[in-house]
Chain A
Amino acid sequence: MKVRTDRIKEMAAAAAADQGLHQTLLAAAGRFRQLRQGGVAAFDDLEKARDQGRRVKERCLAELDRLLPRLEKQVRAAGGRVHWARDAAAARAIILGLARARGVKRVVKGKSMMSEEVGLNQALEQDGLEVFETDLGEYIVQLAQESPSHILAPAIHKNKQEIAALFADKLGVDYTDDPEELTRIARRVLRQKFLQADMGITGGNFAIAESGTLALFENEGNIRMSTTLPRLHVALIGIEKVVETYRDFDVLRKLLTISATGQKLSTYLSLITGPRRDGELEGPDEFHLVLLDNGRSRILADPLLRQSLYCLRCGACLNVCPVYQCIGGHSYGWVYSGPIGCLLNTQLLPRGQGGPAPFACTLCGACAAVCPVKIDHPKVMLHLRWLMAEDPAWPLPRPPAARLGLSLYAWLATRPAGFRSASALARLLAPIAAPGGKARLTPPAISRWGRTRRLPRWQRPFSQRWPGLRRRLGNREEPS
């Protein structure tokens, strides 16, 4: 997938100005929040479950060097093969190599953010393979030659009329904007693809080390098709998806579905351990698990950033994020969007390429409040800002005047007498510089910054104002 993270500003401005998109995003996020809320209301002690989930991820990542070989051993014992990919190019090469060696012509895919991350579709198509996304939303997005805009609802940015026109154009069917009918058309078209495909490619929600089992959640059935019908199944997962036991898996699976759609369990959960066994009539002849690092071991090394890898990809943080709801998924410029996207894009892409997304955050904390594994997005976001500001590899605006201003502030803030004098001066000048609290006379170096911000009203310190406030409050009656 093309990296356009450096264009977040212009893409966000365009998206924010698109009223139709804005309404769609608000409605979608609202609906997902409602679904989650419904599930959470019936959930027994969510806080306890979130703490448990956090602990499971903490432990499994702390033990990851032990769990990865254990998973490998179990997958091999079940007749599967494990491949290790250090980066996106290696993952593409492994999967392309498998496809070439086995004469694969047609590929069906289950929804996978990982495959977007490594740019798999383009690589397979360039090699002459026919690749079909089979999740309905992904299929729509693929037909439109776009990219997904939401982890759970990839085509959420398109309305039914657009989809109807797309189907009529690309599939040669009669125009209909009835979702039921559009779904039936997709079912008919994709059913043939499933039956003809040589290779099924999926991601994986979890990999259970104690049994070598891949766990896949879905509501449509396309992942079941992709893992049952083709003679080859390739699953591509990040190394952070490994959990140790069935019990760990059980803790996380309930958090995942409740947080995503409010479901106690998704319609389908497939637990896959290796390829078909001797004498069986179905299932792939070969099962390949590709374990991708692609920067994850680097993230793992930082104790604060590590929590970015706890993410279960439930999408709950997107649906509460005021920024995401305004600018949509595409504005983030790469695979992941919303609060978790700000964290992952910045860290997974090569240093200096992840773009300024962590700065496009209000730090309101709504994401952290709903995260099923208690990722503290704002804290990580601030840490990333600091890292980026300190590292010249990031193309951030660093005007000398701003640097000078911050140094001056740092100097003043550590000298109480100087700070008091400066504050008194600011109070005196405020009515002229910022009438009504709106900055007017901002110096050119920070004028862009000042354009979208209101300056605070300069007042005497609270400690000095308190005696007067207390007298005024004391005159009121105490609430009974």
Chain B
Amino acid sequence: MSDPAREAIVQAVSAAVGRGQPTRSDPDTGPSQVAWLPPEEDWEAAAASLQALGDELLVIKGRQELAAALGEITARHQVKRAVRWDHRLLRRLDIDRLLAEQSVDCAAIAGEQDLRSLAAEAELGVTALDALVVSTGTLVMRGGRGRERAVSLLPEVHLALVTPDRRLRAIKDLVPLWQQWRSEPGGPPGSVTLVTGHSRTADIELILVSGVHGPKYIYVLALEFPWDD
């Protein structure tokens, strides 16, 4: 802690704001209640938000519909390889098998090198959402083991699954969720990524172009059936 630059800066700031010695209080803002939307609410607002961003939300009412949706999306984008999170929801839905039926290879991620090469080569990345903000169409994903950021970043198509109990009205409703995560053992997650629409740029003559570095297409599958049977 005996960094002279640190001491000099803190002292200069302290003098600038008119304090003799820096105070060292740590007021804690405890988590408030997360305002999840009622699961019975429809998906219209979320679908409209995603559509406005040029992306798509599909309401899925059963396993057959899920298989059909996966078939359509993988065919539309000529998906040969997919990479996915190691997430309970995706395992219970047996995503690997459903993709295999479409001749899409979706191998499990074994290690770091594996993740990099799989994510770099896959055309499709499959994740599950921690939250979906309906007013903005924002996908919220906490990072971690089995929830790799590269899966929603490197492939050209991102497919995100969400359940009705993970919806929030507005971005500001994320604050209690962040506070809640922060107060969990281990502290705040190493990364939280918010995705509002697909990757885009207007850096050349302000002409909008999709899919610069991140995915060009986003699909959200809203699961309206008891998947945990």
Residues of A that sit less than 8 Å from B by CB: 27-28, 31, 61-66, 68-70, 72, 77-78, 84-86, 90, 134-137, 140, 153-156, 159-160, 163, 179-180, 182-183, 186-187, 190-191, 194-195, 210-213, 219-222, 224-225, 227-229, 239, 245-247, 250, 253-254, 263-277, 279-283, 291, 293, 297-298, 300-301
Contacts and interface: CB of A to CB of B under 8 A. Distances in A.
B189 interface: yes
Q: B interface, how many residues as a size bin? A: 35 or more
Interface string B121-154: 0000000000000011010000111001110010
A266 B112 CA distance: 29
A154 B136 contact: no
Given A140-B203, A268-B195, 15 more contacts: A68-B9, A136-B203, A160-B207, A179-B205, A195-B120, A212-B188, A219-B200, A224-B153, A264-B136, A265-B194, A274-B190, A276-B190, A281-B115, A281-B148, A297-B9
Given A247-B175, A265-B194, A65 B201 contact: no
Interface stretch (B23-31, B69-77, B96-104, B220-228): B23-31
A267 B195 contact: yes
B188 A268 contact: no
Task: Give the most central of A155, A265, A275: most B CB within 10 Å.
Answer: A265
B149 A224 contact: yes
A63 B204 CA distance: 41
A267 B196 contact: yes
Contacts of B215: 221
Contacts of A78: 187-188, 190
26 contacts: A62-B17, A68-B13, A69-B22, A85-B5, A86-B9, A153-B206, A154-B203, A180-B209, A190-B213, A210-B28, A211-B178, A221-B212, A224-B214, A246-B29, A250-B172, A264-B135, A264-B136, A267-B214, A273-B190, A277-B145, A282-B112, A282-B148, A283-B143, A297-B12, A297-B13, A297-B15
Nearest to B119: A282
Nearest to A299: B16
Given A265-B138, A297-B16, A136 B204 contact: yes
B182 interface: yes
A221 B199 contact: yes
A163 B111 CA distance: 40
Interface in B141-173: 143-145, 148-150, 153, 171-172
A310 to B, nearest CB: 14
Contacts of A64: 13, 17
Nearest to B86: A281
7 tightest A-B CB contacts, nearest first: A221-B214, A221-B213, A137-B203, A297-B12, A301-B16, A65-B14, A300-B16
A252 to B, nearest CB: 12
Nearest to A271: B192
Contacts of B188: 78, 211-213, 271, 273
Contacts of B62: none
A159 B206 CA distance: 10
Given A187-B213, A277-B190, A297-B9, A65 B200 contact: no
A210 B196 CA distance: 25
A186 B204 CA distance: 12
Nearest to B115: A281
